[in-house]
Structure 1
Amino acid sequence: MVCVFGITTGEFVIAGILPDVADGLHVSIPAAGLLVTAYAIGMIVGGPTLTALTARYPRKRLILILLLVAVAGNVASALAPVYGVLFAARIITALVTSTFFANAIVIATSTAPPDKQASTVSKLVLGMNLSMILGAPLGTFVGNSFGWRATFAAIAVTCAVGLLMVMRFVTAVANDTTTSALTELRVFRIPAVQLAILVTAVGNAGLLIVFTYFAPLLVDVTGFTATAVPFLLLVYGVGATVGNLLGGWLSDRALMPSQIGLLVALTAGLGVMWLVSANIVGTAIMVFVVGALGFSVVPGMQARVLKTASQAPTLAIAVNASAYQLAAAFAAWLGGRVIDGGLGLRAIYVVAAGVTVVGILVSLFAWYRDRRGVTAQNVPVG
């Protein structure tokens, strides 16, 4: 959790220090904004590729190396003399993020009882929640107080502390993978794995549309002041933390029914947010509720991928993380089309609910296949 907190803070914090980075390196705000794109590209491309290439490497040794790269990447970011060096450092750091997260999940769940896998995943995801609630605001505060380079230095220190904790406390879990990278890729021929990853992409896309345009929705539609947005993001993050832990508990008890039920609740929540979008109090409440419902589905989705891709779980989790990043990119594009199409900002809530309904339908189809006995175990990988 500490390691996930450090690494994902490095991903999220750039938004808070973007103007300082642009000013310090003498580039425009749009050019600095490409640092976010660079990180996303690094995760989308690097996650599956690096995970496949390191499939047979001892897991504990691998995550220690990945953490060293994360430390080095953030140190390089802190010392970057020009924009190009910072851009490259961001890509290098992003390359190891998905592979680290995937191996961390496999290590953690392999030491947990079978009926506790989803809640174990939720504890790792809690590190991501904390990076949203504490990491990004603290990183922004450090950057504002001591300069943006100090922010990356602080993240490097956090990752280094996590590395030392892994060395001391994490069990060296055996890596049973004996197949080649090409053979591991064959796991994606399994329909259940394809559906599990598709659910992650589609099921999260609706919420990501709203989150991408959170600030203009809250300011221009509801009427909050710009200074209130950071506090509402904090409320959203607290809701996400509560929902994440509750979702892990529910998924341990009934994986697919809880996933479908929570997606239905999220759809309803987005609909309610549309209805109350002109009311400040109602919207503030729904920010918490939607944050909780949105993150309640994450542990179950990860556990579902682990269950269906048991022959290559690490690679599948890495690809699942890339699917989430693709969903984020699609969400930004679709939200932009909604606004440019003349439907108005408020229509984003309705479109987001509609996209989430598609996630429900994919989940129902996957559950239907399960109940018919069409599982990953029926399909050979090699």
Structure 2
Amino acid sequence: MSLIDVRPTDDPTPTGAVPVVLDDRPGLRFWVAVVALATGGFAIGTTEFVAMGLLPEISAGMGVSISQGGHLISLYALGVVVGAPLIAALGARLPRRGLLVGLIAAYGVLNLASAGATSFHLLGLLRFLDGLPHGAYFGLSALVAASMVPPHRRGFALAMVMMGIPLANVAGVPLVTLVGQHAGWRWAYVAVGALSLVTVVLVLLAVPATPGDRTATGRRELSGLRSPQLWLAVVAAGGGFGGMFALVTYVSPLTQDVGGLSESAVAVFLFALGLGMIVGNTVAGRLCDWSVENSLRLGSVGLALSLVAYFVLAPTGWWALLAAFAVTLTGSVLALGFQMRLIDAAGESQTLGAALSHSALNIGNGLGAWLGGVVIAMGYGLRAPLVVGAVLAVLGLGVIVLARVAARRAGDHAVL
């Protein structure tokens, strides 16, 4: 069953389920469900990115260096990478709404636990565990949203349900960053934990009782891992998208120590990063409905050029805002393109493909953060991660081209 297949009319709807009706123009039911799902995305996005804005405070509070503190971001990303395929395989048969509720509830509890962490190692463990539900939640949200629109609007549907992340960067991250800077970083995790638990109620009230795939098995879902195109997409996403996180992870020290701006300016830069994501996500939906392949190429080239521009503008202070906006705009186009490519490449393993897209993107998250920390620790300066990021974007583009050539030779029409 493909991502946007509709059950035949003789397939009975399970008791208590709300029938999914496809309409070229999404109706009220679609938008209400998207708001509920995007609220969870808002909570997850706030958690994921606020750690970058509060990296100096968290590191100081735990008694470690900034480069060591960056490993918390990598551990969270590792949790996403591990959790997405695991939960996809084990939960493919489960009712999607129920699984969504369980995932976001666990996310909220683990954030509250992170707020009370008493050591750096315990915090690292909790950040890893908190990453486990991340990819599966977004993957299931994408499947639910895409099932409510016709095939040619699925890029739009995915873009809308993913809008919680850029909105988090515009509103949630700057606000929670300011709270964390003035009241203590632990309150950031408290706020997100509470919002996650609110999402539980919203999903129960607003999301249709979409059944799981009754024919799915763990073996069938994992069979998608045999697809060469899937692995090429994972490598391309992990490398290419890592370019964006080479900047985002270290935006706080870049703003203050390289740009010479005050601590309060970090929130402004985080706002610019989030605004770029909103614009990029909106553009990406239309671009991917037009051509996933061209979206990936445009996103890769644009991201590399934007990171080079940030490298040049970083010492000028406020002028670097323009480059920050461009980095996340192009990175968002790249991210949505990779999500759609992975869903297509997974074939019948749709739950795996949708969830694994976030594993792949968070490989980039962890890789960009880790390599950025490495070059800083080697003494190349705080701007060095930007060079690393540009190289990663170019390498990702190379894998995209390689995958295209391989698909043509193999006659793989799913990704052509």
Same fold, TM exceeding 0.5? yes
Q: Deviations over 1:58-108 (max 9, x none)?
A: 211111222222233334445x47448766554443222221111111111
Amino acid at match of 1:286: A
Q: Deviations over 1:15-69 (max 9, x none)?
A: 556777789xx85345877654543333232222222111221211111222222
Distance (Å, rounded) in 2 between the aligned partners of 1:225 and 1:20: 14
TM-score (norm 1): 0.84
Q: Deviations over 1:242-281 (max 9, x none)?
A: 1111112111111111221222222222333344444445
Is 1:299 the counterpart of 2:336 in the alignment? yes
- One of 351, 358, 362 as aligned partner of 1:314: 351
2:53–2:270 Cα contact (<8 Å) kept: no
Pick closer, same or farther for the CA change 1:377–1:145 going to 2, 3 Å.
Answer: closer
- One of 61, 82, 85 as aligned partner of 2:98: 61
Tell me how far 1:199 sits from its aligned partner.
Answer: 1.9
- One of 181, 192, 201 as aligned partner of 1:155: 192
Partner of 2:389: 352
Pick closer, same or farther for the CA change 1:229–1:68 going to 2, 3 Å.
Answer: closer
Amino acid at match of 1:112: V
Partner of 2:5: none
Partner of 1:250: 287
Partner of 2:227: 190
TM-score (norm 2): 0.78
Is 1:167 the counterpart of 2:186 in the alignment? no
Aligned to 2:327, the other structure's residue is in SS state helix
Is 1:200 the counterpart of 2:237 in the alignment? yes
Instruction: Give the superposed CA RMSD.
Output: 3.2
Question: Once the two structures are aligned, what percentage of the paired residues are identical?
Answer: 31
Distance (Å, rounded) in 2 between the aligned partners of 1:343 and 1:34: 18
Distance (Å, rounded) in 2 between the aligned partners of 1:371 and 1:74: 45
Amino acid at match of 2:108: V
1:193–1:376 Cα contact (<8 Å) kept: no
2:260–2:315 Cα contact (<8 Å) kept: yes
Distance (Å, rounded) in 1 between the aligned partners of 2:64 and 2:341: 39
Is 1:28 the counterpart of 2:60 in the alignment? no
- One of 181, 186, 210 as aligned partner of 2:247: 210
Distance (Å, rounded) in 2 between the aligned partners of 1:178 and 1:145: 52
Aligned to 1:96, the other structure's residue is in SS state helix
- One of 224, 238, 241 as aligned partner of 2:275: 238
Partner of 1:324: 361
Tell me how far 1:374 sits from its aligned partner.
Answer: 2.6
Between the two proteins, the alignment pairs up a number of residues equal to 375
Aligned to 1:167, the other structure's residue is in SS state helix
Aligned to 2:162, the other structure's residue is in SS state helix
1:207–1:352 Cα contact (<8 Å) kept: yes
Q: How does 1:84-103 map to 2 (within 5 A)?
A: 89-103=126-140
Structure 1 unaligned spans of 5+? none
Partner of 1:10: 47
Q: Deviations over 1:215-244 (max 9, x none)?
A: 344444444444423312211221121111
1:19–1:29 Cα contact (<8 Å) kept: no
Which segment drifts farther, 316-325 or 100-109? 316-325
Partner of 2:160: 123
Pick closer, same or farther for the CA change 1:301–1:2 going to 2, 3 Å.
Answer: same
Higher helix proportion (structure 1 or 2): 1
Amino acid at match of 2:47: G
Aligned to 1:303, the other structure's residue is in SS state helix
Amino acid at match of 2:206: F
Distance (Å, rounded) in 1 between the aligned partners of 2:128 and 2:155: 30
Q: How does 1:138-149 map to 2 (within 5 A)?
A: 138-143=175-180
Which segment drifts farther, 364-373 or 28-37? 28-37
Distance (Å, rounded) in 2 between the aligned partners of 1:149 and 1:274: 32
1:205–1:331 Cα contact (<8 Å) kept: yes
1:305–1:313 Cα contact (<8 Å) kept: no
Q: Deviations over 1:170-189 (max 9, x none)?
A: 12223235243233212111
Amino acid at match of 1:68: A
Amino acid at match of 2:204: M
Which segment drifts farther, 239-248 or 352-361? 352-361
Distance (Å, rounded) in 1 between the aligned partners of 2:76 and 2:384: 29
Distance (Å, rounded) in 2 between the aligned partners of 1:194 and 1:306: 12
Tell me how far 1:357 sits from its aligned partner.
Answer: 1.5
Distance (Å, rounded) in 1 between the aligned partners of 2:184 and 2:274: 25
1:43–1:97 Cα contact (<8 Å) kept: yes
Amino acid at match of 1:64: V
Distance (Å, rounded) in 2 between the aligned partners of 1:119 and 1:75: 33
- One of 53, 73, 76 as aligned partner of 1:39: 76
Tell me how far 1:120 sits from its aligned partner.
Answer: 1.6
- One of 383, 397, 400 as aligned partner of 1:363: 400
Aligned to 1:306, the other structure's residue is in SS state helix
Q: Deviations over 1:129-163 (max 9, x none)?
A: 12222222322444566665554443233223222
